[in-house]
Amino acid sequence: MTLEARGRRHRHRDRVATPVRWLMLAICLLLGGRLLADGVADHLAGSNPGLALALAPWHVPARVAQVRMDLRRDAPAVPEIIAEVGAILRADPLAPSAYALLAQAREAQGHREAALTAWGWAARVWLRDIVAQAVMLDHALVSGEVGPALDRLDILLRGDPSTGFWLLRRLTPLLSEGRFLDALTRRLEASPPWRSVALRQLAQNAPALDPVMALYRRLQGGSAPPGEEELRPLLARMVAEGRYEEAYLSWLESGPRDQRPPGEWLYNAQFLAAVSNMPFDWTFEPNPGALMQVDRSGPRRRLSVDFFGSRNAFANVSQWLLLPPGTYVLSGLEMAQGLVSDRGVRWRVACAGDLAGELAVTPSLSGTVDWRPFSVSFVVGPACRAQRLVLEVPARVVLERVISGRAAFGQLSLRALAPPPGKP
């Protein structure tokens, strides 16, 4: 090929390539402009959907936000809104919130069946739509559809447990219905991730306690009985409502309770078992100004409390008791290391009907004291159904709460001077 022919070929190639290059550049500019418009619309959709749509009329989230804003007007143009939602769904059949907006528009028209259908689609398309799931849950409950109702509850609690607890409160009365109780028990026995949190919320916040106790009893006799973390809030509420005997029986039935020798009324007195923080075992309530722990001293164990010098309204070691009428002696060993406090620390027994009262108090412990015995006797009358033993700083004013140093206790015991009339 001659040089002249080659030149003609290159010139022809350039004439063909130039328009292609310009076309590709134009396409890149258009795509870049659209991407830029989409990015700006993403940023503006929530705060100014009108401006977002002016930049990107096709932007689905901005269109949804505009419809939501239109629905909030005093006199929304419902037919136009429904038409716009239809256009949005044709552009994006899975657009989040679009079906929910359609449902709200249908409700504004008074078309309940059409609204319910739209809510159902909203719940299917976007599982995290809390309102849609709650509407469908309510519909399932009204219709008596226990399984679908629990499915909705499961979706809500898996997505965000905090949003479902108000529903748990509403569901509590249904626990008196055998069919619902059976279904919820089976669902909880499957150990969903929200089980423990839901049980705690029910135990603490349910309007009525009896239905919750029925659920716990059903679980206790099933394949997945409540653990200590799940049982603790129920027992605490039962005690708070004065149902001491029922709480004690529930505690006994929840596991082996063999940490008390004959004649001893204090459970786990030698701290041989791990502290469970259950009402009728030792309870160590967290305190930022003190550290409570069980130390091993040879074959024996002892309770020690380290105070860090802060103002501390300390009453954080306790145990609930069910002592029948009679005379009792609380005894043990105590020691202190550099325990600086105006009032020291002491043990106090109070009747459940007067938790600020004093059935018995031990002399206050302070300073530096080698191991020494202590004991105090007291009388439980017929009106005192339950009692609480607490280790406390008996401060009368705020300034007396400042305490530092260590206190320790061992070989604790609570025994009756005369044989009690019956075993608790």
* In contact, 130 and 163? CB cutoff 8 Å: yes
Residue 12 lies in a domain: yes
Judged against a pLDDT cut of 50, whether residue 296 lies above it is answered with yes
Q: Give the per-residue pLDDT at 139.
A: 86
**For residue 150, is it within any domain?**
no
| Residue 192, domain member (yes or no) | no
Residue 74 confidence class, pLDDT cut points 50, 70, 90: low
55 versus 172: the higher-pLDDT residue is 172
Q: What is the mean pLDDT of residues 284-313?
A: 88
d(CA 342, CA 401): 8
Flag whether 259 is in a domain.
Answer: no
Assign 241 a pLDDT band (cuts: 50, 70, 90). very high
Residues 351 and 378: their CA atoms lie apart, in Å, by 11
Which 3 state secondary structure label does DSSP give 347? strand
The CATH number that applies at residue 319 is 2.60.120.260
Instruction: Kindly tell me the sign of the dihedral angle through the C-alpha atoms of 185, 172, 159, 95.
Output: positive
Name the domain boundary from 92, 126, 160.
126
d(CA 230, CA 228): 5
Q: Which of 126, 159, 192 is the last residue of a domain?
A: 126
Q: In terms of pLDDT, which residue wins out, 217 or 131?
A: 217
Mean pLDDT of 274-299: 89
Residue indicated by tokens 């219709």:
143
Percent of the chain with pLDDT over 90: 35
DSSP string, 101-158: HHHHHHHHHT-HHHHHHHHHHHHHH-TT-HHHHHHHHHHHHHTT-HHHHHHHHHHHHH
**The pLDDT of residue 184 is above 60:** yes
Distance CA 188, CA 200 (A): 13
Instruction: Answer whether residue 32 shows pLDDT above 60.
Output: no
pLDDT higher than 80, residue 295: yes
Report yes or no: 176 and 214 within 8 Å, Cβ to Cβ: yes
CATH number at residue 48: 1.25.40
Query: Domain for residue 213, yes or no?
Result: no
Dump pLDDT digits (tens) for 358-414: 999 999 999 999 999 999 999 999 999 999 999 999 877 777 778 899 999 999 999
- The H or E element containing residue 318 is strand 317-321
Inform me whether the pLDDT recorded for 20 exceeds 70. Answer: no
Give the ranges where 45-111 is alpha helix by DSSP (H): 49-55, 60-71, 78-91, 98-109
Two structure tokens written together for 50: 């009108």
Give the pLDDT mean for 26-49.
Answer: 52
Q: What pLDDT is recorded for position 37?
A: 46
Axis crossing angle, helix 178-189 with helix 146-159, rounded to the nearest 10: 40
Q: Examine the pLDDT at 12 and tell me if it is beyond 70.
A: no
DSSP letters for 167-181: HHHHHGGGGGSHHHH
| C-alpha pair distances (Å), 152 with each of 100, 116, 134, 162 | 16, 15, 7, 15
How many CB atoms are located within 10 Å of the residue 40 CB? 15
State residue 16's pLDDT score: 46
Span 313-324, pLDDT tens digits: 889 999 999 999
Evaluate whether residue 22 is within a structural domain. yes
Q: Within a domain: residue 364?
A: yes
Note the pLDDT of residue 264: 92
Q: What percentage of the chain reaches a pLDDT higher than 70?
A: 79
Rounded to an integer, the average pLDDT of 13-21 is 54
Query: What is the pTM for the complete model shown?
Result: 0.73
Q: Report helix, strand or coil for 366.
A: coil
Report pLDDT for 127: 82
Whether 171 shows a pLDDT value over 80: the answer reads no
Instruction: Write down the mean pLDDT value for the chain.
Output: 82
Range picked from 5-19, 146-160, 190-204, 246-260 for highest mean pLDDT: 190-204
CA distance 71 to 108: 9
Tens of pLDDT along 141-165? 888 888 888 888 888 888 776 666 6
Q: Number of H helices and number of E strands within the chain?
A: 14, 10
Does position 14 have pLDDT exceeding 80, yes or no? no
Q: pLDDT digits over 89-132, tens only?
A: 788 777 778 888 788 888 888 888 888 888 888 888 888 788 88
Q: What is the pLDDT of residue 47?
A: 59
More confidently predicted of 396 and 8:
396
What SS3 class is residue 269?
Answer: coil
Contact 344, 314 (CB under 8 A): no
Judged against a pLDDT cut of 90, whether residue 311 lies above it is answered with no
**Residue 233 within a domain:** no
pLDDT at 19: 61
Quick check: 297 and 371 in contact, CB under 8 A?
no
Which of 97, 126, 155 lies at the terminal end of a domain, its last residue?
A: 126
**Closest-CA residue to 137 (of 106, 171, 108, 161):** 171
CA separation for the pair 121, 101 (Å, rounded): 11
Residue 41 confidence (pLDDT) above 70:
no
Q: Which residue has the higher pLDDT, 206 or 53?
A: 206
**Count of structural domains, the chain:** 2
Look up the domain containing 108 and give its range. Answer: 1-126
Burial code (b: 16+ CB inside 10 Å, e: under 16) for 301-339 equals: bbbbbbbeeeebebbbbbbbbbbbebebebbbebbbeeb
